[in-house]
Structure 1
Amino acid sequence: MAWLTLLIDTDAAHAEALSDALLEHGALAVDLLDADADTPDEQAIFGEPGEPPPGVWQHNRISALFDADRDVDAILRQAAGDIGLSQLPRHSITTLDDQDWVRLTQAQFEPIPISDRLWIVPTWHTPSNPDAINIVLDPGLAFGTGSHPTTRLCLRWLDNNLQGNERLLDYGCGSGILAIAAIKLGAASAIGIDVDAQAVTASRDNACANQVENVAFFLPNDAPKDEYDLVVANILTNPLRLLAPLLAGSTKQGGQIVLSGILEAQAQDVTNLYQQWFDLNAPIFEDGWTCLSGRKR
């Protein structure tokens, strides 16, 4: 079985309306992408708490999927007319052949080396270094597979700085990868918190897959209230601002904090906020992202 893929370049004013019109005319699926992705003009849009909902990119690429027997050119003309476009936007139509989609997806995820001794390994791969600390983790609905710079920054910090027997809080745990890694690296216990129930479930499943003990995951209202030797929060800048008193209060005096999910341009603002509680180290940057760490006074 094959399908037809329609790619359309359009502006922010028409992207959502044209997407909806394509769905009304029989598109099986529609996806909005940044047409400037992987270029210097790539635009980051985030729906962070405390900020307006995210919009769309200035330059959008619509990807729409159709059954192979549909007249996609005619559908595009109808959809464009429905939203008042006098000219058809730039577009292309290609054939998408049926494939082994599971195998194709798995091929995109290779083992990820964090350091010589710490690796992230999907279940369908044999560990490259059986003697390393191998965290078994498959991509899923929750953030944190080791592929994103912020996750790698936090994992490297844990690898380089954990001394052993720490009590850790992972706020915004996602897949649970940081809490699981901390236990494997010698932490005494770890608590993970996430506002997303699916992330809590994924974290618990990943902890079982990695056979780690003394780790538990909760929704915020269900989590124990305590102070920890180490607090890790790999989320986004605006939540880090809003949660600053809570995260500082969860760190015991003399304990440490690790913050990521911060764009490089936002690092100074976050530093200025957290300096009222912590003596912060020099920030570490990777691919435009930041990791901040420090010790509570």
Structure 2
Amino acid sequence: MKWIEVSVQTANEAVEAVSNILIEAGSQGVSIEDRQDFLQVPDDGLGQVWALDEADFSTEGVIIKAYFPETLFLPEILIDIKERILKLTTVGLAIEPNILTVAEVTETNWATAWKKYYHPLKVTRFLTVVPSWEDYEPKYEDERIIRLDPGLAFGTGTHPTTRLSLHSLEASMIGEETILDVGTGSGVLSIAAKALGAGKVYAYDLDDVAVQSAYDNIQLNEYAQDIQVSANDLLKGVEIKADIVVANILAEIIVPLIPDAWEALKPNGLFLTSGIIESKKGTILSHLREQGFEISQILQMKDWVAVIAQKPAEEE
């Protein structure tokens, strides 16, 4: 089957908005080529899951690629895409260089080519993330394997925020915990929790694509198939009492989540947050302390921060 690749070169701050425009126009997902991904590949002595080439990345802005069936009437769709992107400037978003190109590709060219960049990655002392198509045998007795099919949802273990979350989980768990994973994305944190001995795990995401991605990845790991994954807006309406709430999401979303995480946690429960850029660390710590959380540990990798906070035991 032939597909039409629509490529938009835009400013970094417009990535989310442009991606949303392309998806609403009918693309089933987008790929994002950001030179910062090359410059900021984690190097912590544990090896890398990415094998990137600097030449693959533009030195100006970010390139977002979307794919549409050739059966669609593309000229009409392109006009709408261009107009909506231009309107982003009215809300203060930079869109330059704003270059849109179109190319014809075959499904086999884009559907599997990206797989060459992924390899097994030892993320923590115990956890190794392995792409679903790779043959891999544990190297030592305590190694726990997370099978993952990187797709449309965020979270493959390569980004510092995901790594920090996995380190936080490993440092916090003793086994049999009830865990709520908010903004599950690919489901990697929920699967990791089961690999580390969690009892019950509930995974939530507002995005239906992420929910399906998490479900598919859960099925790749036999020990994790009792994870309950569903669409939900953060913790709204969730009445489960948890030992750990983990959220690898943006700092702006963590702030309104804090009161709900407090209510969801048992006394002595832990709230593990990541996705926090260093400049937002003070804001998150302030809101956590105002809620009553005690800060147990702060982890950092490059410009990204994770926080382990504890809800104190009830006073007798």
State TM-score, norm by structure 1. Answer: 0.69
> Counterparts in 2 of 1:189-228, with a 5 A limit?
189-211=200-222, 212-220=224-232, 224-228=238-242
Aligned to 1:60: 97
Call closer, same or farther: CA 1:60–1:293 in 2, change over 3 Å: farther
Call closer, same or farther: CA 1:200–1:11 in 2, change over 3 Å: closer
Paired with 2:150 and 2:221, the residues of 1 have a C-alpha distance of: 15
Aligned to 1:172: 183
2:182/2:205 contact within 8 Å kept = yes
Paired with 2:228 and 2:172, the residues of 1 have a C-alpha distance of: 22
> Counterparts in 2 of 1:182-193, with a 5 A limit?
182-193=193-204
1:34/1:42 contact within 8 Å kept = no
Structure 2 residue 129 is the aligned partner of structure 1 residue 120: yes
Give 1:55 shift. Answer: 5.8
Higher helix share: 2
Structure 2: runs of 5+ lacking an equivalent:
22-29, 41-58, 63-88
Call closer, same or farther: CA 1:111–1:36 in 2, change over 3 Å: closer
Q: Report the count of equivalent residues.
A: 246
Paired with 1:128 and 1:55, the residues of 2 have a C-alpha distance of: 50
Paired with 1:65 and 1:258, the residues of 2 have a C-alpha distance of: 42
Max Rg structure: 1
Deviations 1:105-164 (A, max 9, x none): 111111121124211111111226355211110111221111111111111111222101
Paired with 1:57 and 1:34, the residues of 2 have a C-alpha distance of: 16
2:61/2:97 contact within 8 Å kept = no
Paired with 2:12 and 2:246, the residues of 1 have a C-alpha distance of: 39
Deviations 1:205-249 (A, max 9, x none): 221211124310122279641221001011101111122211111
Structure 2 residue 176 is the aligned partner of structure 1 residue 162: no
1:36/1:42 contact within 8 Å kept = no
Call closer, same or farther: CA 1:209–1:60 in 2, change over 3 Å: same
> Counterparts in 2 of 1:1-297, with a 5 A limit?
56-57=93-94, 60=97, 62=99, 64-66=101-103, 100-127=109-136, 129=138, 131=140, 132-211=143-222, 212-220=224-232, 224-276=238-290, 277-297=292-312
Q: Give the letter aligned to residue 127 of structure 1.
A: Y
**Which range is displaced more, 33-42 or 238-247?**
33-42
Give 1:287 shift. Answer: 2.4
1:11/1:59 contact within 8 Å kept = no
State TM-score, norm by structure 2. Answer: 0.66
Call closer, same or farther: CA 1:55–1:114 in 2, change over 3 Å: farther
2:10/2:95 contact within 8 Å kept = no
Q: What secondary structure is seen at the aligned counterpart in 1 of 2:239?
A: coil
Q: Give the letter aligned to residue 178 of structure 1.
A: L
Give 1:8 shift. Answer: 7.5
2:246/2:272 contact within 8 Å kept = yes
- Work out the percentage of aligned pairs sharing the same amino acid: 28
Paired with 1:165 and 1:296, the residues of 2 have a C-alpha distance of: 19
Paired with 1:34 and 1:66, the residues of 2 have a C-alpha distance of: 20
Structure 1: runs of 5+ lacking an equivalent:
21-29, 45-51, 68-95
1:175/1:206 contact within 8 Å kept = yes
Give 1:177 shift. Answer: 1.0
Give 1:64 shift. Answer: 1.9
**Which range is displaced more, 137-146 or 35-44?**
35-44
Deviations 1:176-214 (A, max 9, x none): 111111011111111111111222222222212111243
Paired with 2:7 and 2:270, the residues of 1 have a C-alpha distance of: 50
2:270/2:310 contact within 8 Å kept = yes
Q: What secondary structure is seen at the aligned counterpart in 2 of 1:159?
A: helix
Paired with 1:220 and 1:204, the residues of 2 have a C-alpha distance of: 14
